[in-house]
C-alpha cells in the first residue's frame, strides 16, 4: 500500500490535521509504528503511547494535545482502522484460484462462475457452490449442501449433507457445520442414538471462527442469523436459533433448542441451558451461566445469571465474608467468656 495521508483521510471519511503529503505504506500499533505507518487510538488505556509514537498519521476521535502530530479525525477510529486493514489484507492475501487437479467434484455437483477449489477439496453429490466462492485445501462439502456467493472457506472445514450457507460468509480453519446433535435416549439401560435428520442454515455475512462446531437440528433447523459472528471454540447444539448481528465469544456453549435474539453478546465461556429464550440486545458477561429465560435489553452476569448490578453486590458481600467471620468469632468469644 502506498497512499498519501490526504488520500487516506478521504478513504475513511475523516478530517485531516497536519501534513497531507506524507506517504503511508503500512499499518502498525502505536508502540511499533514508524514514519510510513498509520496507527490509531480508540482505547484510552493506550493514550500515553500517543505522544511517543513515531507513526506518520494517527486515527483519533480528538486531537486535543496532539497539535504536533498529523492526525485524521474520525468518529470511530476502530472502524476507520478496520477499513484500512481491509485494504491491506486484500493486497497481501492471495486466495487460491481455479480448480486444483486433486480436487474431487461429484458429477452432479454444480459450481458457479470463478469458483476456486484448493488441493484435496471434496464437493459431494448435488452440492451447489456459488459464484466466486473460495474453498481452501481439504474442505469437504457434503451431499446437497449449498454455499452462496463470495463465501470464503479456510482449510479443514466440513459442511455435512444438506447444509445451507448464505452469501459473503467466512469460515476459519477447522469449523464443522452440520455434525450430529448430541441426541440419545436411555433404553433398557443403554444410551440409544436418536438419528439427527435436520439441517443447519447459516444466513448472509456470518463469520464462524476456528474450531467451532454447529450441530444439525434433530428434525428441524439450527439457524445462525444474518451478520452474526461466532468466535473460536464455540459449541452450538442442535435446534439452536440465533438472531441477527449477535456476537458469540470464545468457549461459549449453547444447549439444544435455545433461542438467542438479535444484537445479543454472549461473552467468553458463557453457558446457555437448553430450551431457553434470550431476548434482543442482552449482554451476558464472561462466564455467565444462563439457566432461565432472559428478557430483552439486560446486562447479566453470574452463575446462575442475574442482573449485573446485583451480581456485583453479591461479589462485594462475598469479599467481606472473611472479615465478617473474624468479627463473628471475636463476638462469640466475648459472649461466652
State how far the Cα of 108 lies from the Cα of 124, in Å rounded to an integer.
8
Give the per-residue pLDDT at 164.
98
Q: Is 138 left (phi over 0), alpha (psi -120 to 50) or beta?
A: left
Spatial separation of the C-alpha atoms in residues 337 and 125, rounded to whole Å: 86
Beta bridge partners of 73: 15, 60
- Catalytic entry in 100, 156, 191, 238: 238
Could you tell me which CATH class the domain 104-265 is placed in? Answer: mainly beta
Q: What are the φ and ψ backbone dihedral angles of 267, each rounded to 5 degrees? A: -70, 180
Query: pTM for the complete prediction?
Result: 0.90
CATH (one of 1.10.10.10, 3.40.1390.10, 1.10.287.3510, 3.90.1150.220) for 3-92:
3.40.1390.10
* Domain chopping of the chain, boundaries: 3-92, 104-265
Q: Residue 176 in 3-state DSSP?
A: strand
**238 given a catalytic annotation:** yes
| pLDDT tens digit at each of 337 positions of the chain | 889 999 999 999 999 999 999 999 999 999 999 999 999 998 888 888 888 999 999 999 998 888 889 999 999 999 999 999 998 888 888 899 999 999 999 999 999 999 999 999 999 999 999 999 999 999 999 999 999 999 999 999 999 999 999 999 999 999 999 999 999 999 999 999 999 999 999 999 999 999 999 999 999 999 999 999 999 999 999 999 999 999 999 999 999 999 999 999 999 999 999 999 999 999 999 999 999 999 999 999 999 999 999 999 999 999 999 999 999 999 998 898 7
What pLDDT shows up at residue 228? 98
Amino acid at each position: 500500500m502506498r497512499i498519501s495521508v490526504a488520500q487516506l483521510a478521504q478513504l475513511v471519511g475523516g478530517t485531516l490535521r497536519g501534513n497531507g503529503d506524507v506517504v503511508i505504506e503500512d499499518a502498525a500499533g502505536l508502540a511499533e509504528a514508524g514514519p510510513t505507518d498509520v496507527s490509531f487510538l480508540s482505547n484510552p488505556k493506550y493514550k500515553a503511547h500517543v505522544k511517543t509514537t513515531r507513526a506518520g498519521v494517527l486515527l483519533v476521535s480528538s486531537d486535543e494535545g496532539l497539535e504536533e502530530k498529523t492526525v485524521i479525525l474520525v468518529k470511530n477510529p476502530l472502524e476507520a482502522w478496520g477499513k484500512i486493514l481491509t485494504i491491506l489484507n486484500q493486497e497481501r492475501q492471495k486466495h487460491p484460484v481455479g480448480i486444483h487437479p486433486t480436487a474431487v467434484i461429484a458429477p452432479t455437483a454444480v459450481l458457479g462462475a470463478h469458483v476456486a477449489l484448493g488441493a484435496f477439496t471434496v464437493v459431494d453429490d448435488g452440492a451447489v457452490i456459488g459464484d466466486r466462492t473460495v474453498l481452501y485445501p481439504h474442505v469437504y462439502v457434503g451431499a446437497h449442501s449449498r454455499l452462496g456467493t463470495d463465501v470464503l472457506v479456510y482449510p479443514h472445514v466440513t459442511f455435512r449433507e444438506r447444509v445451507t450457507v448464505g452469501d459473503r460468509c467466512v469460515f476459519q480453519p477447522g469449523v464443522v457445520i452440520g455434525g450430529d446433535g448430541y441426541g440419545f435416549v436411555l433404553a433398557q439401560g443403554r444410551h440409544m442414538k436418536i438419528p439427527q435428520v435436520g439441517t443447519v442454515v447459516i444466513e448472509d455475512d456470518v463469520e464462524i471462527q476456528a474450531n467451532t462446531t454447529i450441530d444439525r437440528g434433530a428434525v428441524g433447523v439450527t439457524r445462525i442469523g444474518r451478520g452474526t459472528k461466532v468466535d473460536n471454540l464455540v459449541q452450538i447444539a442442535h435446534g439452536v436459533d440465533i438472531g441477527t448481528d449477535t456476537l458469540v465469544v470464545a468457549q461459549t456453549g449453547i444447549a439444544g433448542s435455545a433461542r438467542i435474539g438479535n444484537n445479543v453478546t454472549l461473552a467468553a465461556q458463557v453457558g446457555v441451558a437448553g430450551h431457553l429464550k434470550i431476548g434482543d440486545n442482552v449482554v451476558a458477561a464472561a462466564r455467565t451461566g444462563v439457566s432461565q429465560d432472559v428478557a430483552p435489553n439486560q446486562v447479566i452476569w453470574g452463575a446462575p445469571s442475574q442482573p449485573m448490578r446485583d451480581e456485583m453486590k453479591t461479589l462485594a458481600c462475598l469479599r467481606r465474608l472473611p472479615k465478617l467471620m473474624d468479627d463473628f468469632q471475636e463476638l462469640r468469644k466475648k459472649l461466652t467468656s
